[in-house]
Amino acid sequence: MVMDIHTAHLSFVGGRRRNEDALLFWDASDASCWVVSDGAGGHGNGDLASRIVVETVIAEFRACQEVSSERVSALIQLAQAAVLDVKRESGQDMYATCVVLLVDRQNRRAVWGHVGDSRLYMFREGRLCYQTRDHSLVQNMIDAGYGSIDMIRTHPNRNMLTSAIGNDGELETTVSDQLLSLIEGDTFLLCSDGWWEHVTEQQMEQLLAQESGQCRKWLDAMASVVAHESDRGGDNYSALSVAISAARQPSDDEVTVLVPTHARRNFTA
């Protein structure tokens, strides 16, 4: 018997002309992987960058299903190499953020890592117990004592990143340094900045309780908040929710590609 995992996903174009977010997961009987990427670049190359990131991470994880901090770091570096290869060959300008979650189903353990300002949140017993810290100018300012945490959602330079896939040179990544033992009810949220910028951590907790921990209903409730709070030129917003529940009989390996764009807000940029 292995633990059961419920996954839900949403991705909306917001007020942009195209959706440059990408989501992908591979859920198998022994180990599973989820990844969200937010692309950026001129002439629509951001959507290419994010797609390269998620496809590379999933393909490489399928080839070697090790769940460890070292493996998360390696997957992100492989995505970096893949994007740089396309940049050099095509001359196109493209960048992307990335957040990755790996779960060892047999041993009930998880590990994660990220680059940029796509985030992972973890909730235990309905309470937020962990969230990633952005690789951004504003996060550095807050860490240095030059402002309050409220700046992360309001500062005019909040979208200036200090690390992103596609940058030349050494890539700054943050990876959890040890595997976390999972218990029933643990819930993860992986999302782009267009999502978390308009939903506070308190709202995430409240809506999770309101929807009784049901992944899809929780995402729907948060998406409604984002659609209401963001302006007419708002960013793409995308998220994956992952919830741990009671054990079940293992199933066959399954690959699920998440690329739908919902025109919840059909504005022109």
- pLDDT value for 247: 65
- pLDDT value for 206: 97
- Of 18-22, 72-76, 186-190, least confident by mean pLDDT is 18-22
Indicate whether 127 belongs to any domain. Answer: yes
Asked whether residue 263 carries a pLDDT value surpassing 50, the answer given is no
- pLDDT value for 1: 59
Contact 128, 207 (CB under 8 A): no
The residue to which tokens 């908040």 are assigned: 225
Indicate whether 265 belongs to any domain. Answer: no
Q: Which of 23, 11, 18 lies closest to 41, judged by CA?
A: 18
Indicate whether 267 belongs to any domain. Answer: no
Indicate whether 269 belongs to any domain. Answer: no
Residue 187's pLDDT band (boundaries 50, 70, 90)? very high
Contact 119, 134 (CB under 8 A): yes
Indicate whether 66 belongs to any domain. Answer: yes
Asked whether residue 259 carries a pLDDT value surpassing 60, the answer given is no
C-alpha 208/C-alpha 205 separation (Å) is 5
Q: For residue 197, what are the domain limits?
A: 2-258
**pLDDT digits over 27-44, tens only?**
998 999 999 999 987 666
Contact 32, 106 (CB under 8 A): no
CATH number at residue 139: 3.60.40.10
Mean pLDDT computed over 169-198 = 95
How many domains in the chain?
1
Residue 16's pLDDT band (boundaries 50, 70, 90)? confident
Q: Which residue has the higher pLDDT, 265 or 39?
A: 39
**pLDDT digits over 82-100, tens only?**
999 999 999 888 999 999 9
Indicate whether 33 belongs to any domain. Answer: yes
User: What is the Cβ-side half-sphere exposure of residue 85, based on CA atoms within 13 angstroms?
Assistant: 9
What value does the mean pLDDT of the chain take? 89
Q: Residue 156 is which amino acid?
A: P
Indicate whether 232 belongs to any domain. Answer: yes
C-alpha 180/C-alpha 265 separation (Å) is 37
Mean pLDDT computed over 234-246 = 91
Asked whether residue 137 carries a pLDDT value surpassing 50, the answer given is yes
**pLDDT digits over 214-229, tens only?**
999 999 999 999 998 8
Residue 167 burial by CB count (10 A; 0-12/13-18/19+): exposed, middle or buried?
A: middle
Indicate whether 187 belongs to any domain. Answer: yes
